[in-house]
C-alpha cells in the first residue's frame, strides 16, 4: 500500500490517468506524456489516459487506443520573458484563468485515479491550483514527474522559490518521479524539499522508446541506405546545429555518409528556406524534412545521430542504441549541456561544445566521420538505465520501484 495522500492508482477495475503537460513551446513535455500514457494503458486492458496539453501541434501526433488529449488555448513566450496568448485577444491573466478552468473541468469529469504533472508543480502561472485542490479532496493520487536534468541548481532554486514550487509539492504531491538515473544527475538536490518528500523521490530510469506501429499516413519514406540523422527536436532553437552540419558537408566533399535533417516544426520558415537552398547544391548527400511524427522510426534505422540532446532525443538514442554526437544549447537553460556532459563522462555519447571544441566545419565533419568507430551506448553497463516505463507502471500499481533515492 502506498503511503501519502492518495491510494494505489491501479486498484480500480478501470483505472484512469490524467497527465498535465503545459507545453508553451517545443515538443518535449507532450512527447514524454504520450510515452507514459501509452505504457500505462498497455499495462491494464481497461485503463484510459487523458493528456491535457498546451502544445499547438498535439493534433499532428498519433495517440493509441484509450489515450486522448485535450488541447488548451496556446500561449507564447515573448523576448522579454513574459507570456501572451498565441491566438486569442485576451490578456495573459484571463488566458491563465481560462486554461485553469478547462483543466479543472476535464479533471472533474474524467475523475482520474492518478494525476501526473509534468515539471511545473503549480502548472503554468499557477493554473493547476484549483485542480490540485479538487484532486486532493477526492483522494486522487498526485505525482510530479520531472526529467533527469532541469537546470543549474542555483538558477533552479531561485526559479522555484519565486514560483512557490516547494510549497505546492509539500501540500499536494504523493511522490516525485525523476525520469532518469542519479549517476547522471540529481535534479532536486539543494532545493529545500523536506525529508518526507526526499524519501518519496523515485529515480525511474530513462523512458525506453519503441518503433511505433500505430497506423497513420507516413511523414516521409525512410532512406534505404545508411544515413546520418540530424534532429533538433522542436527546432525553435536548432538553426545553429543545422548550419554546423551543412557547413561540414559543404566543406568536406569526401564526407560520404548521407545526412537526413529533420528541422522540427518550430524552426523559422526563413531559416528552413535558406537551408533548403544550400542543401539543394549538395545533391543527394543531404536531404531535409520539416517534421516526422515517428522520429523513433528514423532513428532506429540511422547509422548515427547528431542532435542537440533534449530529453526525448536522448531516450531515443539510448533505446535505439545509436552512436551519437550531442551539440547542446547552453541558453536559456543549461539542461542539454548538463545532460550531455554527464553522458559523455559515462561514455554514452560524444559531446561537441563550441567553447571546448570550436565551431568549425572541420570539427563537425571529423566527428561525423568518427561515428563509424564510436561505441554505441550499450557498450556502457548501467543497470536500470532504460527501466523508466516499467518503474512507472509498478508505481502506478503501488508496487516497489526498481530505483529509489532516499535523500533526493
Give tens-digit pLDDT for 339-375.
999 999 999 999 998 778 888 999 999 999 999 999 9
- Does residue 408 belong to any structural domain of this protein? no
Instruction: Locate all alpha helices (DSSP H) within 226-332, ordered by sequence.
Output: 239-251, 269-280, 295-300, 311-320
Q: Mean pLDDT over all residues of the chain?
A: 88
- Does residue 404 belong to any structural domain of this protein? no
Looking at the predicted structure, is the pLDDT value of residue 212 above 70? no
Q: Which helix (H) or strand (E) holds 155?
A: helix 153-163
Q: Which residue has the higher pLDDT, 56 or 68?
A: 68
Q: Are residues 38 and 142 in the same domain?
A: yes
Determine which of 65-79, 132-146, 170-184, 306-320 has the lowest per-residue pLDDT on average: 65-79
pLDDT at 333 (0 to 100): 77
Q: Are residues 294 and 346 in the same domain?
A: yes
**Whether 55 contacts 21, CB under 8 Å:** yes
pLDDT at 218 (0 to 100): 52
**Whether 376 contacts 321, CB under 8 Å:** yes
Give tens-digit pLDDT for 274-316.
999 999 999 999 999 988 777 888 999 999 999 998 898 999 9
Q: Are residues 257 and 168 in the same domain?
A: no
pLDDT at 13 (0 to 100): 81
Q: Are residues 198 and 246 in the same domain?
A: no
Q: Which residue has the higher pLDDT, 36 or 25?
A: 36
- Helix, strand, coil percent content, the chain, rounded in steps of 5: 40, 15, 45
- Does residue 170 belong to any structural domain of this protein? yes
As a whole number of angstroms, the distance between CA 56 and CA 53 comes to 9
- Does residue 198 belong to any structural domain of this protein? yes
pLDDT band for position 334 (cuts 50, 70, 90): confident
Q: Which residue has the higher pLDDT, 381 or 237?
A: 381
Q: Which domain holds residue 286?
A: 228-379
Give tens-digit pLDDT for 69-110.
999 998 877 766 678 888 888 999 999 999 999 999 999 999
Reference 30, options 107, 99, 118; nearest CA is: 118
Q: For residue 267, with 0-12 CB atoms within 10 Å meaning exposed, 13-18 middle and 19 or more buried, which class applies?
A: buried
pLDDT at 213 (0 to 100): 65
**Whether 42 contacts 53, CB under 8 Å:** no
Q: Are residues 184 and 70 in the same domain?
A: yes
Averaged over 49-75, what is the pLDDT? 84
Q: Which residue has the higher pLDDT, 57 or 244?
A: 244
Q: Are residues 259 and 194 in the same domain?
A: no
pLDDT at 5 (0 to 100): 40
Q: Are residues 24 and 173 in the same domain?
A: yes
Q: For residue 381, with 0-12 CB atoms within 10 Å meaning exposed, 13-18 middle and 19 or more buried, which class applies?
A: exposed
Averaged over 224-253, what is the pLDDT? 91
Overall number of domains in the chain: 2
Q: What's the grid cell of residue 336? A: 542539454
Domain at 261, CATH number:
3.40.50.2000
Q: Are residues 203 and 243 in the same domain?
A: no
Q: Are residues 271 and 199 in the same domain?
A: no
Reference 408, options 176, 201, 178, 151; nearest CA is: 201
pLDDT band for position 233 (cuts 50, 70, 90): confident
**Whether 374 contacts 323, CB under 8 Å:** yes
Q: Are residues 47 and 141 in the same domain?
A: yes
Averaged over 211-220, what is the pLDDT? 57
Q: Are residues 127 and 193 in the same domain?
A: yes
- Does residue 2 belong to any structural domain of this protein? no
- Does residue 39 belong to any structural domain of this protein? yes
- Does residue 360 belong to any structural domain of this protein? yes
Q: What is the percent of the chain where pLDDT is above 70?
A: 88
- Does residue 45 belong to any structural domain of this protein? yes
pLDDT at 373 (0 to 100): 96
Q: Are residues 203 and 238 in the same domain?
A: no
Amino acid at each position: 500500500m502506498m503511503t501519502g495522500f492518495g491510494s494505489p492508482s491501479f486498484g480500480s477495475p478501470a483505472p484512469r490517468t490524467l497527465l498535465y503537460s503545459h507545453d508553451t513551446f517545443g515538443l518535449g513535455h507532450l512527447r514524454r506524456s504520450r510515452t507514459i500514457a501509452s505504457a500505462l494503458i498497455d499495462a491494464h486492458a481497461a485503463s484510459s489516459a487523458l493528456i491535457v496539453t498546451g502544445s499547438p501541434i498535439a493534433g499532428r501526433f498519433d495517440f493509441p487506443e484509450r489515450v486522448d488529449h485535450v488541447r488548451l488555448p496556446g500561449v507564447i513566450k515573448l523576448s522579454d520573458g513574459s507570456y501572451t496568448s498565441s491566438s486569442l485577444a485576451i490578456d495573459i491573466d484571463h488566458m491563465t484563468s481560462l486554461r485553469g478552468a478547462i483543466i479543472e473541468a476535464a479533471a472533474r469529469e474524467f475523475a482520474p485515479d492518478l494525476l501526473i504533472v509534468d515539471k511545473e508543480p503549480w502548472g503554468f502561472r499557477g493554473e493547476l491550483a484549483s485542480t490540485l485542490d479538487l484532486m486532493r479532496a477526492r483522494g486522487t493520487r498526485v505525482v510530479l514527474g520531472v526529467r533527469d536534468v532541469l537546470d543549474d541548481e542555483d538558477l533552479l532554486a531561485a526559479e522555484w522559490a519565486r514560483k512557490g514550487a516547494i510549497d505546492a509539492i509539500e501540500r499536494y504531491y504523493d511522490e516525485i518521479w525523476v525520469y532518469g538515473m542519479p549517476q547522471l544527475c540529481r535534479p532536486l538536490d539543494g532545493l529545500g524539499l523536506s525529508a518526507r518528500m526526499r524519501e518519496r523521490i523515485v529515480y525511474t530510469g530513462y523512458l525506453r522508446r519503441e518503433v511505433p506501429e500505430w497506423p497513420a499516413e507516413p511523414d516521409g519514406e525512410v532512406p534505404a541506405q545508411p544515413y546520418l540523422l540530424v534532429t533538433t527536436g522542436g527546432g525553435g532553437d536548432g538553426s545553429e546545429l543545422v548550419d554546423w552540419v551543412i557547413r561540414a558537408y559543404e566543406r568536406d566533399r569526401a564526407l560520404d555518409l548521407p545526412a537526413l535533417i529533420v528541422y522540427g516544426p518550430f524552426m523559422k520558415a526563413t531559416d528552413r528556406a535558406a537551408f533548403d537552398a544550400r542543401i539543394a547544391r549538395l545533391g543527394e548527400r543531404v536531404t531535409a524534412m520539416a517534421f516526422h511524427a515517428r522520429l523513433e522510426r528514423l532513428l532506429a534505422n540511422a547509422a548515427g545521430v547528431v542532435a542537440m540532446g533534449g530529453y526525448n532525443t536522448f531516450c531515443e538514442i539510448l533505446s535505439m542504441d545509436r552512436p551519437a554526437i550531442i551539440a547542446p544549447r547552453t541558453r536559456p537553460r543549461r539542461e542539454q549541456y548538463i545532460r550531455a556532459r554527464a553522458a559523455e563522462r559515462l561514455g554514452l555519447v560524444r559531446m561537441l561544445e563550441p567553447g571546448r571544441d570550436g565551431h568549425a566545419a572541420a570539427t563537425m565533419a571529423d566527428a561525423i566521420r568518427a561515428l563509424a568507430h564510436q561505441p554505441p551506448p550499450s557498450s556502457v553497463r548501467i543497470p536500470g538505465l532504460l527501466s523508466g516505463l516499467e518503474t512507472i507502471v509498478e508505481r502506478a500499481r503501488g508496487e516497489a520501484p526498481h530505483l529509489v533515492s532516499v535523500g533526493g
